[in-house]
A and B are shown apart, each in its own frame.
Chain A
Amino acid sequence: MNGLHPKFAVVGHPNKGKSSIVSALAADDSVQISDTPGTTVKKRSFPLKVDGKILYELLDTPGFQRARRVLAWLEQHNVPADKKHEVVQQFLYEYKDDPRFSDEIELLEPIIEGAGIIYVVDGSKPYGEEYESEMEILRWTGQPSMALINHIDETDYSQEWKRALGHYFKMVRTYNPMQTDMEQHINILESMAQLKEEWTASIKASIRLFERYHEQMLEQSARSITKLIYHSLSYVETLPFFLEEASINEKEMLEQKYKDKLRSFEIKNQEHIEKIWNHEHLQKEETSLTFEDLDLFSEETASIFGLTRKELLITGATSGAVTGAGIDLFFAGHTLLLGGAIGAVVGGVGAYFGFNELSEIKVLGKTLGKHYLEMGPMENRSFPYILLGRAVYHTTQIANRSHALRGVASFKVDSKFKEKWLNDNLRKALEKYHKKFRSAKELDAEELAEYERLILKILQTLVG
């Protein structure tokens, strides 16, 4: 670790959202955020690292606890402005082992070592005179500084805050850590770059990297969703049975196993997506049910994420027509293009009547003396869209969730979500691959990459 990169100490009064801001700026949901003062007792570093090299470092610090006492000690020293930081240094030296000032030592130490100051206040609560001793101490350090007005609640006192903060800080900016707005994030980074000339290049490089990082996360999510759809559609579950005929119970057991496996694929993908977007500490009401109470195989899920009967008919017809057209092509059009027409009708009708069925249960191996039931690959044409819709929805929710948010996450289902991402052209493009996935044949990595590109486009549109 080198000491030349810019460092920024996020400081302020206790419980004003310092950790929330660090959590959002560092995209790290492991930061402990609580309304109990004193949650942060030690400074914690959040470096932006590129290939192990630190471009800048954010430091989450404890809040001021005995600011008046510290200021009183500093003011005992009547020194010119250029010597004031030396007095702060002296304070740190004298009180470094004094538990009364442990919080002040933790927060002032990095500043005296050269860190820029990001002073955080809550703009939703009125300004108070008690903040002045904190701001005065920071002024004594002589380090470049800016103030961030955080809005913890709805009320707005930012004007009075701006007037007061303007006396102490070169820059005053507003930042809402609960919003995952890339533009807002970049604006803050640009402000940080202006604090000191030597830091500008490093922070500007960080901005470009943040944009690339975002793109990387979208690409990884698209890859994960592609794998989910492919594995789920091509999955085959088997169950041996020992009598002449399989019982209803055994058939139900097979269906249950098949469904459970697909559910587990979905959960695994969700965990992976949460990891990609640094939301590993996300708490959910129930792991198995992601969207309120909507199970993967419920009718409600199908009605929200799946295709309508009309869409299903068109999709089936298009898919059938493609196969039929292949026959026409083979006979060089001597079929008078009847292949395409018949394919469309057969495909469409098949899709229409198979609306609620997942996959046929087949009895196999009778001639070989081994009896077993088989279910899969997925035959239901609406299911890929249900699974994909849920995966895309979950990803957009995770990607747009602030890292400063704590508590149990519940995803409210948007009944019009499908309209936001699925149109006729996209459905046609996706159906081509769904058909291949359903065939359970080994796929070329290139074909999966093409499907992945389609998913990436969807995510780029929805997440940005």
Chain B
Amino acid sequence: MNLKSYLDLYALLKSDISSREERRSFGLIHVMMKKNSIEQLLAWVDEHKIKLKRPLLSETFSSYLYSVTVTLMLVAFVLGLVSGIGLLNYSGHEPVNVIYFIAMVVFLPVFTMTLTLFSMIRANSSQSLLVHISPAFWMEKIIHLLPHQVQDNLKEIKINPLLANWVVIKRSQILALAFYFGLFFALLGMVATKDIAFAWSTTLNVSPEVFHDFLHTLAFPWRDLYPSALPSVELIEQSQYFRLGDKLSEEMIQNASRLGEWWKFLAFATLFYAIILRFMIYLLALLGFRQAVKRSFLTLDGSEKLLKEMNEPVISTHAETEEKSFIQEDAVYGQIVPALDASYDMVHGWAIPKEQLAVMRDSMQVISPQLVEVGGGNTLEEDSEIIHRSHGEVLLYVKAWEPPTLDFVDFLEALSKQVDKVIIYPAGTPQEHYRAEAKKTDVWARKLGTIHNHKVWLKR
């Protein structure tokens, strides 16, 4: 898990290349990872990375970032080297004041490391203010100075601010390490190639004993292992230097050979405060960075959805096939009877009992010698017999709310062959006083329209 995999996930989520079913299928195949979201996301990135267009955004970004980091590391190393040479530059007239060097390799690193720790604490909450003083922050800005084509490649990247903070914190430590390695090599090189007379000098009223106590405290990590790397009180006394006067003190000149012994202390101070402690801070930053990548993985826009879709079952209830489109025809039927005649040769009721038919006939003041129930509970033979007996004009009551079935159509066709005219009367329920709703009659009109029988008429 690193910045590259984060950027790959970012690019994959942005391009949204997988369907809901594919994501679930992946979740089911990798069901063992269900409890580890990060592992699941990483596996998903690995499997789908191949679908991303080349060159990968992550590779482009990492490659530029790597080049810029290496360049700045070299610059930092050279700066460290030059600073070291500058600090240890001994003209032969005045000794080198170790306090400058101690400030550079102890106090400055301790101060910047404290700031770094503060940045680390703040990094999780928001864009850290302290990040802006870091050289690595400016390294990010350098990317904007890259050629347009490079910038175009990187334009689409939006890194989580939390992760960006940790990227900067981590890289700042690398640059600081490079700088102090430069300084350390400068110290070793200068000591090896030059005879340097070290001294200490301060405006403050500090006695050699107090200064020794101070150095003794500073040297706590190595003083027991390498006692020679801690200057003695005598050496401190001998190397105290006062600027007043135009020549060096007699004592200093007498002990000139011993003044160089300071280098061991300076080398250990650089090694411990500027390099080892910084390296530990770097490891801490690495840990924080990994945690930030982990957190950013989970908070990346779309990753929560992706995890849900991997781990939640795909539920579907709909039909798999599209239904053939149905076009409803107009309810226009040409053979309409606006009013019933006073009498008919026969009155039939399709699935309407005889008693109810009588009520309907009376309420509509229709005279007919015969009332017959057809369809409904009748057998087909009974209906055939009724058709055989039918003649003249037949009034056929139907239940308007029951749509015409093919069973009815069969009966109607047989009946129309036998009689002169059939008037279909769609009736409503008794509660509706046998008056049908227009839309129900429309259903009948549409059906009769498909039969094309000149003997069949509809009462509307």
Binding site for B on A (CB under 8 A): 13-15, 25-28, 30-32, 34-37, 39, 41-42, 44-52, 63-69, 72, 100, 103, 122, 125-126, 128-130, 132, 155, 209-210, 212-213, 216, 219, 223, 278, 442, 444-446, 448-449
Residues of A within 8 A of B431 (CB): 155
Taking a contact as CB atoms under 8 Å apart, the answer to whether A155 and B314 are in contact is no
Residues of B within 8 A of A212 (CB): 312-313, 315
- In this complex, the member of A39, A66, A132 whose beta carbon has the largest number of chain B beta carbons within 10 angstroms is A66
Residues of A within 8 A of B216 (CB): none
Contact partner of B321 among A32, A44, A132, CB < 8 A? Answer: A44
What is the CB-to-nearest-CB distance from B204 to chain A, in angstroms, rounded to a whole number? Answer: 34
B87-95, B194-202, B371-379 - the one binding chain A: B371-379
Taking a contact as CB atoms under 8 Å apart, the answer to whether A35 and B443 are in contact is yes
Taking a contact as CB atoms under 8 Å apart, the answer to whether A50 and B405 are in contact is no
A312 to B437, CA, bound (A): 53
A30 to B430, CA, bound (A): 36
Taking a contact as CB atoms under 8 Å apart, the answer to whether B429 and A155 are in contact is yes
What is the CB-to-nearest-CB distance from B57 to chain A, in angstroms, rounded to a whole number? Answer: 18
A51-B377 CB under 8 A given contacts A32-B323, A44-B319, A130-B351 = no
Known: A13-B402, A37-B405. 7 other contacts (CB 8 A): A26-B319, A35-B440, A51-B314, A130-B375, A216-B312, A442-B161, A444-B160
Residues of A within 8 A of B405 (CB): 13-14, 37, 63-67
For chain B, the bracket of interface size reads: 35 or more
Contact partner of A48 among B317, B321, B351, B353, CB < 8 A? Answer: B317
B410 close to A (CB within 8 Å) = yes
A36-B316 CB under 8 A given contacts A30-B322, A72-B380, A442-B158 = no
Residues of A within 8 A of B314 (CB): 49-52
Residues of A within 8 A of B430 (CB): 126
User: Closest A-chain residue to B21, C-beta based?
Assistant: A52
User: Closest A-chain residue to B301, C-beta based?
Assistant: A445
Taking a contact as CB atoms under 8 Å apart, the answer to whether B377 and A216 are in contact is no
What is the CB-to-nearest-CB distance from B95 to chain A, in angstroms, rounded to a whole number? Answer: 49
Contact partner of A68 among B318, B320, B407, CB < 8 A? Answer: B407
Taking a contact as CB atoms under 8 Å apart, the answer to whether B376 and A129 are in contact is yes
Contact partner of A46 among B305, B318, B324, B399, CB < 8 A? Answer: B318
User: Closest A-chain residue to B409, C-beta based?
Assistant: A65
* 12 pairs of residues in contact across A and B, judged by CB atoms under 8 Å: A15-B443, A28-B317, A30-B323, A35-B440, A45-B319, A45-B320, A67-B405, A122-B401, A130-B351, A444-B161, A444-B299, A445-B299
Taking a contact as CB atoms under 8 Å apart, the answer to whether A128 and B376 are in contact is yes
A50-B315 CB under 8 A given contacts A37-B443, A65-B407, A130-B351 = yes
Residues of B within 8 A of A126 (CB): 429-430
- In this complex, the member of B319, B326, B353 whose beta carbon has the largest number of chain A beta carbons within 10 angstroms is B319
Residues of B within 8 A of A25 (CB): 317
Residues of B within 8 A of A44 (CB): 319, 321, 323
B171 close to A (CB within 8 Å) = no
- In this complex, the member of B161, B315, B323, B378 whose beta carbon has the largest number of chain A beta carbons within 10 angstroms is B315
B28 close to A (CB within 8 Å) = yes
A30 to B21, CA, bound (A): 21
Interface string of B433-458 (1 = CB under 8 A from A): 00000011001001100000000000
What is the CB-to-nearest-CB distance from A131 to chain B, in angstroms, rounded to a whole number? Answer: 9
A36-B318 CB under 8 A given contacts A51-B24, A130-B375, A442-B158 = no
Residues of A within 8 A of B403 (CB): 14-15, 35-37
A449 to B317, CA, bound (A): 28
